[in-house]
Chain A
Amino acid sequence: MGWIFILSLIVALGLVYRPLGDHMYRCYSGAKHTAVERGVYRLLGVRPDTEQRWGGYARALLAFSVVSVLFVYGMQRLQDKLLLSLGFDAVPDHIAWNTAISFVTNTNWQAYSGESTMGHLTQMAALAVQNFVSASAGMAVAIALVRGFARRGSDTIGNFWVDLVRGTLRILLPIAFVGALVLVAGGVVQNFTGPHSVETLVGGTQNLTGGPVAGQEVIKELGTNGGGFYNTNSAHPFENATAWTNWFEIFLILLIPICLTRTFGRMVGQVRQGHAILAVMSTLAIASVVLTNVFELAGDATVPQAVGAAMEGKDVRFGVANSATFAAATTLTSTGAVNSFHDSYTPFGGMMTLVNMMLGEVAPGGVGAGLYGMLILAVITVFVAGLMVGRTPEYLGKKIGAREIKLASLYFLVTPLLVLTGTAVAMGNAEGVKAMLNDGPHGFSEILYAFTSASNNNGSAFGGVTVNTPWYDVALGLCMVLGRFLPIIFVLALAGSLAAQKPVPESAGTLPTHRPQFVGLVVGVTVVLVALTFLPALALGPIAEGLL
């Protein structure tokens, strides 16, 4: 049954691939503004028809992110003085800072427990807003890079404000609204009540919680954000009520990252180039989903063997297989929502979630971030292939010269640097080590997972780790900021230098980038790069745990 579940997701994504991909293409390429959009631009004081160079585009994105961080921080610090606080105090400074960074960077790492920390207004007006706009910003960066490939001799790459507003209003908001109602139909709550106690059947007390959950849940998945309304995230029945809402949430997670490859193909004028990128993503994703299912169903570790199934940390309505599929989807993208707890997964099942993030979240990756990450890998691949045959590499008619490959390499180096240094520093001091819940290799995995998740802007956790301490809030906050914005700056710089180039005509020596050969090469390069970078760290954690 678990296999039909996976197959049905593939079929459903195949059905919406063209319509949504084409819709996004029109959204980012059209010259017309709607009346609402014109009103918004007037309020913002920006001229929508003036395009920006890459530097201006980057400054606008960074400015928007800085103001967003300050706003989200402020809302949390003033929470007790605002409406709908449910009586909660202001959020402590280090947690508020970490959370603000976390939601603005599309990470949605949670150093807090939703139901006991955040009031309804903070959830919907600070956190959920970032769920939309951080996703839209990620898509904008991807589109800017694609324009770099598509344009000839242009010194501009688009207008950030237009991309931000269109992505939000034309793509995310309509899907979110319909999706929210679908989730409510399944049982996900949408109200404004606070906790109210009821007497249970046997005379105990239970505090039923409420909240505008469905509206936040849907964008949490659609925007590959992952920050749960409640502490147990998508395992919580009020966030993920049934087996079919679980299917729907996985579908939402994969929807935009997959369909953006179509948008890419349309924008560069060769749909088959989009198919090649999609093929790379699918190969990696399907392999990962299948392996995660196999490892979890086999349950090869002492406790799952004693239990008879890897059911610790999983809910009955989802079962082992559908939980494993969710876990793979959430880490293959930058989502980080969880419907089961990765800390209790089998050593190799848990390792798959780590490896998915270490791939750089490119299969299919976060909204926007997945596409630009994968295009960087494609650039690195044509460079490697060019070295083999001794020709100047080119991709989509653009020369990959010294400047381009430097930017691509810098992009790739950021996250390993953050993950490995961060983990090493944490393991090297008492503050870092005492956060472990489990000991031995599994405790190391918890720390490695935390830094991998933060640096890749995923946000899921080996949840046993205690990270609401000032040390972790600061360290992981830094990883999230650098892991998000350094790559974005490199991508936009690359977009600028590609857009300025005139395309070179195809020659006999040009490596065709739409054939299976190229797909295989990119998959190979991705796996080799990741294995070389992270295998030693994995050997100390999940591999040691699984083999010893």
Chain B
Amino acid sequence: MRNAWIRPHLAALRAVAVMTVLLGLVYPLVTTGVAQALFHGKANGSLIEKDGRTVGSALVGQSFEGHREYFQSRPSAAGDGYDMLSTAASNLGPEDVLDTPDRPSLLTQVCARSRAVGELEGVSGARPYCTGDGVGAVLKVFPDRAVSVNQACPARPFTDTYEGLTVECAEPGEDYAAGRTVPVRGDVRAVVPADAVTASGSGLDPHISVAYAELQAPRVAAERGLDLAGVRALIERHTTGRALGFMGEPAVNVLELNLALDTRP
């Protein structure tokens, strides 16, 4: 009986050692060798050079925030944005609509981004479920009143009444948890595309949608004194269609597009 328990453990010790050498050392080393020989550039991260120095990877997005002459990337939840040492998504839920003192709700983040993009591009930043001042349009409804909870006083509530009840602004520090949560859709249509107001899964999304690139084209053209048609042609050149016509979605690589703008004569 003792043997029946000890012998397999001895075999197991040896098995772990053998497997570690084979699968943990030989396999990755051989794979790396062959990969480096066959696909050198890709195995090393599809690096992009400009004037002889590496400026990033074609696969990894970068932040262009504050630089009006460049196309902007999507919002990113990786560190302070596009941080490869702390990649992350927001992980906020689809009904995360109530701001707290700790953090704004996902809905308010979406509304605020939409408003900011609208201002940057000179278009309407309005969206369904968003107030004009760029927070989530959400009411807490009580029997005798309604409160626009994401609009702290003295802000003016996005609507004066809700089903006959007067809508108030939110007193900071007051607890509205007991009320019924009612997000209010409103009747606007969004101009700013979906990818411009959401954080990606990787936090490193190198792409934006064609619609978002088109939205930014007039601003970039004006900042650089280029004609719009030329910028649009560049967008088209850096748009990847669906692989084999049916995989994924058409996408514009932001870093490559911006590099192309820089190297344009």
Contact = CB atoms under 8 A, between A and B. Distances in A.
Interface of A: 1, 4-5, 8, 40, 43-46, 55-56, 59-60, 62-64, 66-68, 71, 113, 115-116, 124-126, 128-129, 132-133, 161, 164, 168, 173, 176-177, 180-181, 184-193, 195, 198-202, 204, 206-210, 212, 214-216, 230-232, 235-238, 241-244, 246-247, 301-319, 322-323, 338-341, 343-347, 350, 437-438, 440-442, 445, 462-464, 545
Contacts of B30: 177
A83 to B, nearest CB: 11
A76 to B, nearest CB: 14
Interface in B184-214: 185, 190, 193-195, 197-209
B63 interface: yes
B28 to A, nearest CB: 4
B128 interface: yes
A302 B108 CA distance: 11
A302 B90 contact: no
A242 to B, nearest CB: 6
Nearest to B78: A232
Contact of B94 (A46, A201, A247, A310): A310
B246 A8 contact: yes
- Select the residue from B32, B34, B53, B63 with max chain A CB neighbours within 10 A: B32
Contacts of A545: 93-95
A242 B243 contact: yes
B46 interface: yes
A263 B35 CA distance: 32
Interface string B61-96: 011101100100010001000111111111111111
- Select the residue from A60, A306, A438, A545 with max chain B CB neighbours within 10 A: A306
B67 to A, nearest CB: 5
A338 B78 CA distance: 16
Given A133-B19, A316-B205, A201 B62 contact: yes
B243 A184 contact: no
B9 interface: yes
B19 A168 contact: yes
A232 B203 contact: yes
B165 interface: no
Interface in B102-147: 106-107, 110-111, 127-130, 136
A320 to B, nearest CB: 8
Range for the number of chain B residues in contact with chain A: 35 or more
Contacts of A133: 19, 23
20 contacts: A43-B18, A115-B85, A115-B87, A181-B38, A189-B43, A202-B64, A209-B84, A210-B44, A212-B32, A244-B247, A302-B95, A303-B93, A306-B136, A319-B248, A323-B201, A340-B201, A346-B94, A437-B91, A445-B93, A545-B95
A285 to B, nearest CB: 19
Interface of B: 4-5, 8-16, 18-20, 23-25, 27-28, 30-32, 34-36, 38-39, 42-47, 50, 53-60, 62-64, 66-67, 70, 74, 78, 82-97, 106-107, 110-111, 127-130, 136, 183, 185, 190, 193-195, 197-209, 240, 242-249, 251, 255, 258-259, 262
B23 A199 contact: no
A45 B16 CA distance: 13
A317 B246 CA distance: 12
Nearest to B209: A316
Given A56-B4, A464-B91, A185 B190 contact: no
Given A190-B36, A206-B62, A315-B207, A71 B89 contact: no
B9 A214 contact: no
A209 B130 CA distance: 38
Contact of B130 (A232, A306, A309): A306
Contacts, number: 372
A40 B91 contact: no
Contacts of A164: 15
Nearest to B6: A63
A161 B10 CA distance: 12
Contacts of A4: 246
A437 B71 CA distance: 32
Contacts of B242: 1, 243
Contacts of A303: 92-97, 106-107, 110, 129
Contacts of B13: 67
Contacts of B58: 187
Contacts of A315: 200-202, 205, 207
B234 to A, nearest CB: 15
B89 A128 contact: no
B91 A343 contact: yes
Contacts of B67: 202
Nearest to A169: B22
A44 B247 contact: no
B248 A116 contact: no
Contacts of B259: 201
B256 to A, nearest CB: 10
Interface pairs A-B: 5 shortest CB-CB: A243-B248, A125-B24, A319-B249, A235-B201, A464-B91
A442 B59 CA distance: 33
Contact of B42 (A66, A161, A185, A341): A185
Nearest to B197: A307
B99 to A, nearest CB: 12
B253 to A, nearest CB: 9
Contacts of B19: 129, 132-133, 168
A241 B27 contact: no
A420 to B, nearest CB: 22
A442 B96 CA distance: 9
Given A164-B15, A208-B47, 6 more contacts: A210-B44, A216-B28, A315-B200, A316-B249, A317-B251, A545-B95
B11 A247 contact: no
A341 B56 contact: no
A63 B12 contact: yes
Contact of B28 (A195, A212, A243): A212
A244 B32 contact: no
Nearest to B58: A187
A50 B56 CA distance: 57
Given A301-B94, A311-B198, A168 B32 contact: no
